[in-house]
Amino acid sequence: MTRPVRARINLQALAHNLSRARKAAPDSRIMAVIKANAYGHGVIPVARALAAADAFAVASLEEAMQLREAGVRHEILLLEGVFDAGELELAVTHQLQLVVHCEQQVRWLEQFRSGASVHLWLKVDTGMHRLGFAPDVAQAMWQRLQRLSYVKTGGLRWLSHLACADELSSPVNDRQLERFAEVMRFSESLQGRAVEGSLANSAALLTRPDMHFDWVRPGIMLYGASPLLPAHTADAALRPVMTLESRLIAVHQRRKDEAIGYGQTWVCPEDMPVGIVAAGYGDGYPRHAPSETPLLLNGKPVGLLGRVSMDMLCVDLRSQPQAQPGDPVVLWGEGLPVETLAQQAGTISYELFCKLSPRVPRVYE
Catalytic machinery residues: 35, 262
Task: Tell me whether strands 242-254 and 259-260 are parallel, antiparallel or unpaired.
Answer: unpaired
Which residues, at least 6 apart from 363, have a Cβ–Cβ distance to it below 8 Å? Answer: 6, 7, 8, 9
Instruction: Please classify residue 143 by burial: count the beta carbons closer than 10 Å to its beta carbon, then call 0-12 exposed, 13-18 middle and 19+ buried.
Output: exposed
What whole-number distance in Å separates Cα of residue 83 and Cα of residue 215? 24
Sign of CA dihedral 102, 104, 107, 108: negative
What whole-number distance in Å separates Cα of residue 167 and Cα of residue 170? 6
234-244 core/surface letters (b: 16 or more CB in 10 A; e: else):
bebebbbbbbb
Angle of CA points 128, 130, 135, to nearest 5°: 65
Residue 53 CB neighbour total at 10 angstroms: 23
User: For the chain, how big is the Rg over CA atoms in Å?
Assistant: 24
Q: In the 3-class helix/strand/coil scheme, how is 6-54 assigned residue by residue?
A: EEEECHHHHHHHHHHHHHHCCCCEEEEECHHHHHCCCHHHHHHHCCCCC
Among the listed residues 247, 244, 228, the one whose alpha carbon sits nearest the alpha carbon of residue 338: 244
Alpha carbon distances (Å) from 267 to 147, 252, 257, 274, 352: 70, 14, 5, 11, 28
Phi then psi for residue 277, to 5 deg, are: -110, 140
Sign of CA dihedral 57, 63, 68, 71: negative
Among the listed residues 103, 119, 106, the one whose alpha carbon sits nearest the alpha carbon of residue 215: 119
